[in-house]
Amino acid sequence: MSARSDASANLRQSVIRQQCVVLHLPTVGSQCVPLAEQAERERQPYLGYLEALFAAELEDRERRAIDRRIKEAHLPRVKTLDEFDFRQAPTVSPTRLSELAEGGYIERAEPVVFIGDSGTGKTHLLTALCVAACRQRRRVRFTTAAALVNELVEARQQLQLRRVLARWARYDVIAIDEVGYVPLAELGAEFLFQVISDRAEHAAVLLTTNLPFSEWTQVIPNARLCKALLDRITDRAHIIETGSDSYRFRRTLELRGRHSRSKATNGVIPESAQSTEKGSPPGTPVLKRDDYDDNGGSAASAVIPTANKEDLLSIPD
């Protein structure tokens, strides 16, 4: 009798799983049996079991939708605000970034601009806002300025420009990284202007740049076009300065310093590493060439002091 009962239960489970496949309810199919056993142990009512089953399906569907949004965003790496070390970027306000991550700027179609030198966390913060938007079920697309321009130039050559521009316009948020790293030809600058202009006051744009606005004519030589582009980017924008002190460079120096201290205090100094200079006591470690900069100073002296920048908001005439 027990064997017959088990066979009947297995048959029901198989039928339910097949029905769930047809109904596109994968979580219901996989969780119906364990949740039924739990409901039986806890003597839950039928409706309580059904509520738990549907809640599991909705939760898993939400997770899969977010994963799909993040994948479609083409992010270089998935990074969040929780992973960002604000101690290394004292000019960046955690409160301000948390407020932006809530997504109000998307509703208001306000641009967000990160300005700073290389290695100061601009792309990390840009990516974190993209991830936050994906978690809010927004359609997001990440690209670099050079990649965007190249795609549009190629689309124009293939007579597909209107279709590609329409696809970019459908995103709730577009994130353009590395504006200012590569000079743009006249046609490329016009395409960048068209994408940003089409979204002005309609949809959000995020971008990073290593140049203050007063120097954008270095990458967009047409001063009139450059001024028009800046006019649209800075209108109602959230402009966040990440500074000029490279976090990556400081991290490299710290790792090198820890490695050197570890060798000096914990490691046994090999015979070949001992000093042979006249007057040096036995056991004095010889510093390698890598521990010095090209001018003969220590590695720490290679840190360039922060220079005073021009007014970031000055727009060239």
pLDDT digits 0-9 by tens, 275-317: 434 444 444 444 443 443 444 443 333 333 333 434 444 444 4
Helix, strand, or coil here: 206? strand
- Token output for 93: 């306000």
Q: 158 pLDDT band (50/70/90 cuts)?
A: very high
Q: Which amino acid is at 299?
A: A
**pLDDT score of 317:** 42
Q: Residue 268: pLDDT above 90?
A: no
Give the separation between CA 89 and CA 312, rounded to whole angstroms: 18
Average pLDDT of the residues of the chain: 83
Q: 262 pLDDT band (50/70/90 cuts)?
A: low
Over pLDDT 90: what percentage of the chain? 63
Mean pLDDT across the stretch 44-49? 92
With a CB cutoff of 8 Å and minimum separation 6, the contacts of 197 are 228, 229, 232
**pLDDT score of 60:** 94
Q: What's the pLDDT tens digit per position in 185-227?
A: 999 999 999 999 999 999 999 999 999 999 999 999 899 999 9
Q: Residue 157: pLDDT above 50?
A: yes
Q: What are the structural domain ranges in the chain?
A: 15-70, 81-243
Most confident of 13-27, 236-250, 295-309: 13-27
Mean pLDDT across the stretch 104-124? 95
Q: Answer whether 135's CB lies under 8 Å from 66's CB.
A: yes
Q: Residue 4: pLDDT above 80?
A: no
Q: Residue 108: pLDDT above 70?
A: yes
**pLDDT score of 182:** 87
Q: Residue 40: pLDDT above 80?
A: yes
**pLDDT score of 251:** 64
With a CB cutoff of 8 Å and minimum separation 6, the contacts of 276 are none
**pLDDT score of 10:** 82
Question: What sections of 108-177 are H helices per DSSP?
Answer: 122-135, 145-157, 161-169
Q: Answer whether 111's CB lies under 8 Å from 234's CB.
A: yes
Give the separation between CA 211 and CA 116, rounded to whole angstroms: 7
CA distances in angstroms from 307 to 171, 208, 213, 245, listed in the order given:
38, 20, 16, 10
Q: Answer whether 228's CB lies under 8 Å from 193's CB.
A: yes
**pLDDT score of 35:** 92
Evaluate whether the domain defined by 81-243 bears CATH number 3.40.50.300.
Answer: yes
Mean pLDDT across the stretch 61-82? 95
Q: What is the chain's Cα-based Rg? A: 29
Over pLDDT 70: what percentage of the chain? 76
Residue 18: is it exposed, middle or buried by C-beta count within 10 angstroms (0-12/13-18/19+)? exposed
Give the separation between CA 280 and CA 38, rounded to whole angstroms: 75
